[in-house]
A and B are shown apart, each in its own frame.
Chain A
């Protein structure tokens, strides 16, 4: 070996790795066809996926019946076209005929525009609340104003609107009222209960919170709803019988608060002790410490499980079906009880599923964007 002076030639910079390592072909080779077995599984799954998708498109769009003619003799719809297509194509005519009943239940037909405005108001409220630039005290005012408007529209009896009793309400507005009110009222209760359960220096408060959580959590929501609708009126003096919807609403709030409280407690416990100490050392009082330092961080930590609970409760409001409250699911069920459409419940349930899915999926996507937003500022 001869002695040479080592010189360093700089390695040229390249903007990307070679295509066979990082391109789509490489990705497929690594993830779909890495071995014989993996290739077989990929091909089998692809086969079933394509077959299913083709079948679905065929059923839902190509062979489906969109409208049926009115029978001139009876003046009713004639679903014969649907009956013929049964098993091969969907009968969307049932939706076309029943969508207003499904959305608004037994709400008087001529007044359903009011319930429709209520839906728009709810959606507007959700959208505004989701935007961070409205996260100011004024948002509370917006909520009060919108909810007042919603109940004024639903009940009527003022401004020349016809009075509509609560047992005539139904459909999607009921579902949105139960879930929005339920979660909006349950959340602050949950925060207080979570703090109470951790208040080691207030043993009585702590005990009450623990009992509340354990008792409610140990009982199914259905039995709580039964108690609210059947047992509770028995204990009330004659004549004083709070509205059934309100009773179900209270049961839902009490139930949701427990689950949210436990999720929030998880966040409180996950915060490092140093955060509590730093707040103490600055002389912040208990409520300022919690409101300014601890809760903002704890709640951010538990966004995923919180939204999980929210989604769960949004769907659980459909349990009020068993105590005869006319929510979205109930009105769907009643719609297909119509003798003309009895054979076509699948289509109705698909529509109900799609409505629930839209709300739940929006919540899920929103929580993801919120997490991304927060993780930008808190890079530890």
Chain B
């Protein structure tokens, strides 16, 4: 259904509450096919909730979300289809500890895409090579470092050949020396033309790959623009404050 003009992701006045806490307020956002969007903001600003709404790990309560032209509703079959088209990388990796690295990668292609095992394994090895850990294929997640696990998580998502990749703070749980290897993998992925939405505090990464940076605070999209606009000439006080805090930390 997708064509050049239709956005990959479309959020229209999305609202969500956790109990009485209004965590998303009238959030509207469009992501074009091939576009790379970085979402940033202070903790508790709703950025993770936003990205988790895109594959319905969180259910929005008002507004519309369309992914690749299909609206997210309670229709579980349509939802499973959308989820198989949208890859997700979590802050805490969430690899399946009882399966080997290779099995982690081949599981969804075999069981969701009905791919023959040999083909799925070849595909998995291709992506594991791309994230530079093919030699770990027979090991279990618990035997790998955090950075390696996160790269496996990226490969696992890519094995479904998704149209869109979502990253939910992919480097926040990593030791500093491992952040770079994961970011390098993500940069390479961005260069290959993948549509990406990434929640991250890595401003260097945002500058390098993002077409657009979206700044969220208290559940709202406060400001958005190109990385240069956002970082050089922030318009709102909230973004200025956030940037000063981030930069002080670096």
Contact = CB atoms under 8 A, between A and B. Distances in A.
Contacts of A285: 76, 80
A377 B140 contact: yes
Contacts of B83: 280-283
Nearest to A300: B98
- Most B CB contacts (10 A, CB to CB) among A279, A281, A285, A300 go to A281
Contacts of A379: 140, 142-143
Interface string B47-86: 0000000010100000000000000000010001111111
Contacts of A293: 96, 107
A274 interface: yes
Interface stretch (B22-30, B87-95, B127-135, B238-246): B87-95
B18 interface: no
Given A284-B111, A285-B80, A292-B111, A378 B90 contact: no
A372 to B, nearest CB: 15
Contacts of A35: none
Contacts, number: 75
Nearest to A296: B98
A51 to B, nearest CB: 50
A136 to B, nearest CB: 15
Contacts of B97: 297, 378, 380
A293 B96 CA distance: 7
Given A274-B92, A297-B98, A284 B112 contact: yes
Interface in A64-106: none
B125 interface: no
B108 interface: yes
B160 interface: yes
Contacts of A380: 97, 142
A277 interface: yes
Contacts of B80: 283-285
Interface residue tally on A, bucketed by range: 20 to 34
B104 to A, nearest CB: 9
B78 to A, nearest CB: 11
Contacts of B111: 284, 288, 292
B69 to A, nearest CB: 17
Contacts of A277: 57, 90, 94
Contacts of B76: 285-286
A230 interface: no
| Contact residues of A: prevailing secondary structure | helix
Contacts of A286: 76
A362 interface: no
A296 B97 CA distance: 10
A275 interface: yes
Contacts of B107: 282, 284, 292-293
B125 to A, nearest CB: 18
Interface string A258-291: 0000000000000010110111111111101000
A297 B104 CA distance: 14
Nearest to A297: B98
Which of B84, B85, B108 has its CB near the most chain A CB atoms (within 10 A)? B108
A126 to B, nearest CB: 25
Given A282-B108, A283-B108, 20 more contacts: A272-B94, A274-B92, A277-B57, A278-B88, A278-B96, A280-B57, A281-B57, A281-B87, A282-B112, A282-B157, A283-B85, A284-B80, A285-B76, A286-B76, A292-B107, A292-B111, A293-B107, A300-B98, A378-B142, A379-B143
20 contacts: A272-B92, A277-B57, A277-B90, A277-B94, A278-B94, A278-B95, A278-B96, A280-B55, A281-B55, A281-B57, A282-B84, A282-B157, A284-B107, A284-B112, A286-B76, A288-B111, A300-B98, A378-B140, A379-B142, A380-B142
